[in-house]
Amino acid sequence: MSSVSHASRRAWRCAPGAFAAVANLKAALDQLATAGGQQAALSSAAAPSSAEAPLNWVFLGPPGVGKGTYASRVAKAFGVPHIATGDLIRAEIKSGSDFGVQMKGIVNSGKLLSDAMVQQVLQQRLAQGRRDGEKGFILDGFPRTRAQAEELVRATPVSLVLNMSLREEVLVEKCMGRRLCKHCGKNYNIADIYLPASPDGSRPEIVMPPLSPPPECAPHLETRADDREEVIRHRLEVYKQEAAPVEDFFRARGLLVDFEITAGIPETLPHLMPLLQRYATGAGRSSDKA
C-alpha cells in the first residue's frame, strides 16, 4: 500500500524537499501566530463580533482525514470553539453512563451511531455554548447523514462547509497509526506515509511524516478499540454511502467547498488558512475548490 523502504524514507528526509517542508511549517506557524496573536486584527477581520453573524463552520471528511487536527488549529486562529462530536461521544462512553455503554457497543462493532444519539450529545454542547456566549463554532464530525444536516440547518445557521478528502489507502494507514495519550489526553499518529505520484500525473505524491509523541507521553499511548483494519475499512464504506447525500445537500445550498489533502500539516496549512480567511471576511466564494 504505502510501504516504502526505510532507506528511501531517510533519503527523502535528507533531500531538498525536507527543507521546503521546514519552510512551509514556519510559514504556517507564522500565519497562525498572526491570526491568533494579533487580537485587534483578528477581531475586525476574522473573529465574529457581537454585531456580526456567528462564524458557524462545518468540517466534513472521512475518518482519519484530519478533521480534528485542522479544526482545532483553525478554531484557535479564529477565536471560536472546536466542537468534535467524536470527542463528545468518547467522553460520554468514558463516563460509564448507561447511554455511554450503549454507544460503546455500537462503535466497537464498526457501526455508526444513530442520528438521535449524536443529536443528543451535540445539542447539549451547543446549548452550553449559547449560555456561555460563544460567537460561533467549528463543528467536526457532524453531520454524518442528510437527516442530521437538515436538522442542523433548521436549528443553526451554517456559513461554510469544508469537505476534506484523502486517498483511501492513506486513510486506512493513518487510522491504524492513531494513538491517544491516556495521561494527558492528546492525540498522536505514528504512521509514516509515503506514496509516489502516479505515472500519468493524475495523483500527486503524498508525504505524511508521523506526529510523534514527546518522551513523557510515549509510555502512556493507547490505541482506540475500533482502529483495526477490518473495522476501519467497514467504517469508510459506510461513510462513503452516507456522505454523498450530505455533500449534495450542502452543495445545493452553495455552502460546500472541497479541499483535497496531499501532504502533512506543515505543507497544508499555508494553503488552507488563506482560503478560510476569505470566508471569515465574507470574500470567499462557495464555488471555490482547493
Nearest to 207 by CA among 164, 269, 262, 271: 262
Task: Report d(CA 171, CA 66) in Å as an integer.
Answer: 9
Task: Report d(CA 55, CA 82) in Å as an integer.
Answer: 12
User: Quick check: is 167 catalytic?
Assistant: no
Residue 289 is given by DSSP the state: B
Given the residues 104, 125, 146, 235, select the one marked as catalytic: 235
Given the residues 67, 125, 174, 179, select the one marked as catalytic: 67
Given the residues 144, 146, 174, 179, select the one marked as catalytic: 144
Strand order in the sheet with 178-181: 187-189, 178-181, 221-222
Task: Report d(CA 163, CA 185) in Å as an integer.
Answer: 26
**Which grid coordinates belong to 180?**
491517544
Residues in CB range of 57: below 8 A, 6 or more apart: 74, 136, 137, 138, 139, 158, 159, 160, 161, 162, 276, 279
Given the residues 73, 174, 178, 179, select the one marked as catalytic: 178
Cα torsion 95, 119, 244, 109 to 10°: value is 30
Residue 198 is given by DSSP the state: P
User: Quick check: is 130 catalytic?
Assistant: no
User: Quick check: is 144 catalytic?
Assistant: yes
Task: Report d(CA 159, CA 54) in Å as an integer.
Answer: 9
Given the residues 111, 167, 224, 233, select the one marked as catalytic: 224
> Does residue 68 contact residue 148 with C-beta atoms inside 8 Å?
no
User: Quick check: is 178 catalytic?
Assistant: yes
> Does residue 259 contact residue 165 with C-beta atoms inside 8 Å?
yes
Cross-strand bridge partners of residue 206: 195
User: Quick check: is 135 catalytic?
Assistant: no
Among all residues, which ones are annotated catalytic? 67, 144, 178, 224, 235
